[in-house]
Structure 1
Amino acid sequence: MSTEQNKALVRKFEELINSRDLDTALTLLSPDFADHTPAVGLPPGIEGVRAFFTMQFAAFPDSHSISLDIIAEGDKVVHRMSNEGTHQDEFLGIPATGKRVAMTHIDIWRIADGKLAEHWVEADMMGMMQQLGVVS
Protein backbone atom coordinates (compact mmCIF):
# COMPACT_ATOMS: atom_id res chain seq x y z
CA MET A 1 0.00 0.00 0.00
CA SER A 2 1.12 3.57 -0.58
CA THR A 3 1.76 5.94 2.31
CA GLU A 4 -1.45 7.80 1.37
CA GLN A 5 -3.42 4.53 1.52
CA ASN A 6 -1.84 3.76 4.90
CA LYS A 7 -2.87 7.18 6.24
CA ALA A 8 -6.38 6.66 4.87
CA LEU A 9 -6.61 3.33 6.73
CA VAL A 10 -5.64 4.96 10.03
CA ARG A 11 -8.09 7.82 9.42
CA LYS A 12 -10.85 5.29 8.65
CA PHE A 13 -10.19 3.48 11.94
CA GLU A 14 -10.46 6.75 13.88
CA GLU A 15 -13.63 7.78 11.98
CA LEU A 16 -15.24 4.46 12.89
CA ILE A 17 -14.23 4.86 16.54
CA ASN A 18 -15.64 8.41 16.60
CA SER A 19 -18.92 7.10 15.18
CA ARG A 20 -18.92 4.23 17.74
CA ASP A 21 -18.84 1.57 15.01
CA LEU A 22 -16.44 -0.61 16.97
CA ASP A 23 -17.25 -3.87 15.19
CA THR A 24 -16.38 -2.41 11.79
CA ALA A 25 -13.28 -0.67 13.19
CA LEU A 26 -11.99 -4.00 14.50
CA THR A 27 -12.19 -5.50 11.00
CA LEU A 28 -9.37 -3.12 10.03
CA LEU A 29 -7.02 -4.89 12.48
CA SER A 30 -4.98 -7.88 11.36
CA PRO A 31 -5.92 -11.20 13.01
CA ASP A 32 -2.58 -11.22 14.88
CA PHE A 33 -2.77 -7.52 15.82
CA ALA A 34 -0.30 -6.49 18.55
CA ASP A 35 -0.87 -3.50 20.81
CA HIS A 36 2.50 -2.76 22.41
CA THR A 37 1.08 -0.30 24.96
CA PRO A 38 -2.25 -1.76 26.12
CA ALA A 39 -4.13 -0.39 29.12
CA VAL A 40 -3.33 -2.23 32.35
CA GLY A 41 -5.43 -5.32 32.94
CA LEU A 42 -6.80 -5.66 29.42
CA PRO A 43 -6.31 -8.74 27.25
CA PRO A 44 -3.86 -8.62 24.34
CA GLY A 45 -4.74 -8.19 20.70
CA ILE A 46 -8.10 -7.38 19.20
CA GLU A 47 -10.03 -8.31 22.35
CA GLY A 48 -7.96 -5.78 24.31
CA VAL A 49 -8.82 -3.08 21.77
CA ARG A 50 -12.50 -4.02 22.06
CA ALA A 51 -12.33 -3.90 25.86
CA PHE A 52 -10.53 -0.55 25.89
CA PHE A 53 -12.97 1.23 23.59
CA THR A 54 -15.98 -0.33 25.33
CA MET A 55 -14.61 1.09 28.60
CA GLN A 56 -13.84 4.47 26.99
CA PHE A 57 -17.30 4.78 25.42
CA ALA A 58 -18.95 4.06 28.79
CA ALA A 59 -16.70 6.40 30.78
CA PHE A 60 -16.66 9.23 28.22
CA PRO A 61 -19.90 8.82 26.23
CA ASP A 62 -19.35 12.11 24.39
CA SER A 63 -15.67 11.50 23.65
CA HIS A 64 -14.38 12.54 20.27
CA SER A 65 -10.94 12.40 18.66
CA ILE A 66 -9.54 15.19 16.52
CA SER A 67 -6.66 14.57 14.13
CA LEU A 68 -3.87 17.11 14.57
CA ASP A 69 -1.10 15.62 12.39
CA ILE A 70 -0.63 12.46 10.37
CA ILE A 71 2.68 11.40 8.84
CA ALA A 72 3.53 8.20 6.98
CA GLU A 73 6.71 6.56 5.83
CA GLY A 74 7.05 3.02 4.57
CA ASP A 75 4.68 0.74 6.47
CA LYS A 76 4.26 3.10 9.47
CA VAL A 77 1.83 5.94 10.20
CA VAL A 78 2.29 8.43 13.03
CA HIS A 79 -0.94 10.13 14.12
CA ARG A 80 -1.03 12.96 16.68
CA MET A 81 -4.51 13.43 18.09
CA SER A 82 -6.54 15.17 20.75
CA ASN A 83 -9.26 13.30 22.61
CA GLU A 84 -11.98 15.18 24.49
CA GLY A 85 -14.87 13.97 26.59
CA THR A 86 -16.82 14.21 29.83
CA HIS A 87 -15.94 11.64 32.52
CA GLN A 88 -19.32 10.06 33.35
CA ASP A 89 -18.47 6.52 34.47
CA GLU A 90 -15.54 4.63 35.99
CA PHE A 91 -12.36 4.69 33.90
CA LEU A 92 -9.18 2.80 34.86
CA GLY A 93 -10.53 2.52 38.41
CA ILE A 94 -11.35 6.23 38.71
CA PRO A 95 -14.99 6.91 39.64
CA ALA A 96 -16.94 9.34 37.47
CA THR A 97 -16.06 12.99 38.13
CA GLY A 98 -18.32 14.76 35.64
CA LYS A 99 -15.28 16.73 34.48
CA ARG A 100 -14.57 17.52 30.84
CA VAL A 101 -11.05 16.49 29.86
CA ALA A 102 -8.82 16.81 26.82
CA MET A 103 -5.79 14.61 26.23
CA THR A 104 -3.26 14.50 23.43
CA HIS A 105 -1.65 11.28 22.25
CA ILE A 106 0.66 10.13 19.51
CA ASP A 107 -0.11 6.77 17.94
CA ILE A 108 2.24 4.79 15.73
CA TRP A 109 0.66 2.15 13.52
CA ARG A 110 2.34 -0.49 11.38
CA ILE A 111 0.36 -1.63 8.37
CA ALA A 112 0.72 -5.09 6.80
CA ASP A 113 -1.38 -6.62 4.02
CA GLY A 114 -3.85 -3.72 4.12
CA LYS A 115 -4.55 -4.10 7.86
CA LEU A 116 -3.44 -2.39 11.06
CA ALA A 117 -0.89 -4.89 12.38
CA GLU A 118 0.85 -3.17 15.31
CA HIS A 119 0.21 -0.16 17.54
CA TRP A 120 2.21 1.94 20.00
CA VAL A 121 0.90 5.02 21.82
CA GLU A 122 2.34 7.78 23.98
CA ALA A 123 -0.47 9.61 25.78
CA ASP A 124 -0.58 12.51 28.22
CA MET A 125 -2.07 10.41 31.02
CA MET A 126 -0.64 12.74 33.69
CA GLY A 127 -2.47 15.68 32.14
CA MET A 128 -5.69 13.69 32.08
CA MET A 129 -5.25 12.64 35.72
CA GLN A 130 -4.67 16.29 36.69
CA GLN A 131 -7.83 17.36 34.86
CA LEU A 132 -9.79 14.63 36.64
CA GLY A 133 -8.43 15.84 39.99
CA VAL A 134 -6.73 12.52 40.77
CA VAL A 135 -3.27 14.13 41.04
CA SER A 136 -2.17 17.73 41.43
Structure 2
Amino acid sequence: MATEENKDVVRRFVSECVNVHREDLLDRFAAPDVTLHPGTPDSAEATQGIDELRQAFRRFRILFPDLHVTHDLLVGEGPYVVARWTATGTHANEVAGLEPTGQQLRWGGTDIYRIEDGRIAEWWRNDDFAGLLRRLSRRVL
Protein backbone atom coordinates (compact mmCIF):
# COMPACT_ATOMS: atom_id res chain seq x y z
CA MET A 1 0.00 0.00 0.00
CA ALA A 2 1.05 3.57 -0.55
CA THR A 3 2.02 5.70 2.43
CA GLU A 4 -1.11 7.87 2.19
CA GLU A 5 -3.32 4.77 2.16
CA ASN A 6 -1.56 3.48 5.28
CA LYS A 7 -2.08 6.82 7.02
CA ASP A 8 -5.74 6.64 6.04
CA VAL A 9 -6.05 3.22 7.75
CA VAL A 10 -4.85 4.82 11.01
CA ARG A 11 -7.11 7.87 10.57
CA ARG A 12 -10.13 5.68 9.93
CA PHE A 13 -9.25 3.32 12.80
CA VAL A 14 -9.40 6.22 15.25
CA SER A 15 -12.41 8.02 13.74
CA GLU A 16 -14.57 4.98 12.89
CA CYS A 17 -13.62 2.62 15.71
CA VAL A 18 -11.93 4.29 18.69
CA ASN A 19 -13.81 7.59 18.89
CA VAL A 20 -17.24 6.13 18.29
CA HIS A 21 -16.65 3.20 20.64
CA ARG A 22 -17.10 0.52 17.96
CA GLU A 23 -15.15 -2.44 19.27
CA ASP A 24 -17.10 -4.59 16.83
CA LEU A 25 -15.20 -2.92 13.96
CA LEU A 26 -11.71 -3.86 15.19
CA ASP A 27 -11.53 -6.70 12.66
CA ARG A 28 -11.76 -4.16 9.83
CA PHE A 29 -8.68 -2.31 11.03
CA ALA A 30 -6.45 -4.86 12.74
CA ALA A 31 -5.08 -8.17 11.50
CA PRO A 32 -6.23 -11.30 13.38
CA ASP A 33 -2.67 -11.82 14.66
CA VAL A 34 -1.93 -8.14 15.41
CA THR A 35 1.05 -7.69 17.76
CA LEU A 36 0.69 -5.10 20.53
CA HIS A 37 3.87 -3.68 22.04
CA PRO A 38 3.61 -1.91 25.41
CA GLY A 39 5.16 1.51 25.53
CA THR A 40 7.19 1.48 28.71
CA PRO A 41 10.29 -0.57 29.46
CA ASP A 42 8.79 -1.99 32.65
CA SER A 43 5.54 -3.03 30.93
CA ALA A 44 4.55 -6.56 30.12
CA GLU A 45 5.85 -8.28 27.02
CA ALA A 46 4.17 -7.83 23.66
CA THR A 47 0.84 -9.56 23.22
CA GLN A 48 -0.68 -10.93 20.07
CA GLY A 49 -4.11 -11.30 18.58
CA ILE A 50 -7.28 -9.38 17.93
CA ASP A 51 -8.79 -10.73 21.16
CA GLU A 52 -5.99 -9.11 23.19
CA LEU A 53 -6.68 -5.82 21.41
CA ARG A 54 -10.39 -6.19 22.07
CA GLN A 55 -9.74 -6.76 25.80
CA ALA A 56 -7.47 -3.70 25.95
CA PHE A 57 -10.21 -1.60 24.34
CA ARG A 58 -12.74 -2.82 26.90
CA ARG A 59 -10.45 -2.05 29.84
CA PHE A 60 -9.73 1.44 28.62
CA ARG A 61 -13.36 2.14 27.79
CA ILE A 62 -14.33 1.20 31.35
CA LEU A 63 -11.84 3.74 32.71
CA PHE A 64 -12.73 6.47 30.24
CA PRO A 65 -16.16 5.80 28.68
CA ASP A 66 -16.07 9.03 26.68
CA LEU A 67 -12.52 8.56 25.38
CA HIS A 68 -11.74 10.71 22.36
CA VAL A 69 -8.45 10.73 20.44
CA THR A 70 -7.26 13.49 18.12
CA HIS A 71 -4.31 13.09 15.80
CA ASP A 72 -1.92 16.00 16.13
CA LEU A 73 0.48 14.58 13.54
CA LEU A 74 0.62 11.60 11.21
CA VAL A 75 3.86 10.68 9.48
CA GLY A 76 4.27 7.70 7.20
CA GLU A 77 7.06 5.86 5.49
CA GLY A 78 6.55 2.58 3.72
CA PRO A 79 4.38 0.31 5.85
CA TYR A 80 4.88 2.45 9.00
CA VAL A 81 2.69 5.24 10.32
CA VAL A 82 3.65 7.33 13.34
CA ALA A 83 0.81 9.11 15.10
CA ARG A 84 1.27 11.85 17.69
CA TRP A 85 -2.04 12.15 19.48
CA THR A 86 -3.97 13.81 22.28
CA ALA A 87 -6.70 12.00 24.19
CA THR A 88 -9.42 13.27 26.48
CA GLY A 89 -11.71 11.32 28.73
CA THR A 90 -13.60 11.39 32.01
CA HIS A 91 -12.10 9.26 34.79
CA ALA A 92 -15.18 7.13 35.50
CA ASN A 93 -13.85 3.96 37.16
CA GLU A 94 -11.06 2.78 39.45
CA VAL A 95 -7.58 2.60 37.98
CA ALA A 96 -4.46 1.46 39.86
CA GLY A 97 -6.34 1.69 43.15
CA LEU A 98 -7.53 5.26 42.47
CA GLU A 99 -11.25 5.74 42.83
CA PRO A 100 -13.06 7.55 40.01
CA THR A 101 -12.73 11.32 40.22
CA GLY A 102 -15.18 12.32 37.50
CA GLN A 103 -12.45 14.61 36.19
CA GLN A 104 -12.09 15.37 32.50
CA LEU A 105 -8.47 14.50 31.71
CA ARG A 106 -6.15 15.14 28.80
CA TRP A 107 -2.96 13.25 27.93
CA GLY A 108 -0.89 12.44 24.90
CA GLY A 109 1.30 9.88 23.29
CA THR A 110 2.93 8.58 20.18
CA ASP A 111 2.00 5.34 18.45
CA ILE A 112 3.77 3.52 15.66
CA TYR A 113 1.74 1.24 13.43
CA ARG A 114 2.90 -1.24 10.82
CA ILE A 115 0.25 -1.68 8.17
CA GLU A 116 0.04 -4.90 6.17
CA ASP A 117 -2.65 -5.65 3.59
CA GLY A 118 -4.67 -2.62 4.70
CA ARG A 119 -4.78 -3.53 8.41
CA ILE A 120 -2.70 -2.90 11.50
CA ALA A 121 -0.24 -5.77 11.88
CA GLU A 122 1.85 -4.26 14.69
CA TRP A 123 1.19 -1.43 17.13
CA TRP A 124 3.74 0.17 19.44
CA ARG A 125 2.25 2.44 22.08
CA ASN A 126 4.03 5.08 24.10
CA ASP A 127 1.85 7.40 26.13
CA ASP A 128 1.98 9.41 29.33
CA PHE A 129 -0.27 7.09 31.31
CA ALA A 130 2.16 7.23 34.27
CA GLY A 131 1.83 11.03 34.31
CA LEU A 132 -1.92 10.66 34.11
CA LEU A 133 -1.89 8.37 37.17
CA ARG A 134 0.29 10.89 39.07
CA ARG A 135 -2.20 13.67 38.33
CA LEU A 136 -5.08 11.48 39.44
CA SER A 137 -3.35 10.49 42.69
CA ARG A 138 -2.81 14.17 43.57
CA ARG A 139 -6.50 14.82 43.07
CA VAL A 140 -7.63 12.05 45.39
CA LEU A 141 -5.12 12.63 48.19
Q: Where does the alignment leave 5 or more consecutive residues of structure 1 unmatched?
A: none
Amino acid at match of 1:4: E
Aligned CA distance change for structure 1 residues 86 and 2 (closer, same or farther; 3 Å) = same
Amino acid at match of 2:35: A
Q: Which residue of 1 aligns with 2:134?
A: 130
1:93 CA drift (Å)? 4.6
Amino acid at match of 2:14: E
Q: Which residue of 2 aligns with 1:55?
A: 59
- 8 Å CA contact 1:103–1:124 kept in 2: the answer is yes
Greater relative contact order, per chain length (Cα 8 Å cut-off, separation 6+): 2
Q: Deviations over 1:76-98 (max 9, x none)?
A: 00001011111011235533222
Query: Percent identity of the aligned residues?
Result: 33
Q: Which residue of 1 aligns with 2:72?
A: 68
Matched ranges for 1:87-106 at <5 A: 87-106=91-110
Q: What TM-score, normalized to structure 2?
A: 0.85
Report how many aligned residue pairs link the two structures: 136
- 8 Å CA contact 1:18–1:64 kept in 2: the answer is yes
Q: Deviations over 1:102-131 (max 9, x none)?
A: 110100000111111001011112320122
Amino acid at match of 2:9: L
Residues in 1 aligned to 2:59 and 2:93: alpha-carbon distance in whole angstroms: 9
Q: What TM-score, normalized to structure 1?
A: 0.88
- 8 Å CA contact 1:56–1:91 kept in 2: the answer is no
Q: Where does the alignment leave 5 or more consecutive residues of structure 2 unmatched?
A: none
Query: Aligned-pair RMSD on alpha carbons?
Result: 2.4
- 8 Å CA contact 1:99–1:131 kept in 2: the answer is no
Q: Deviations over 1:34-69 (max 9, x none)?
A: 001177599642122111111111211121111100
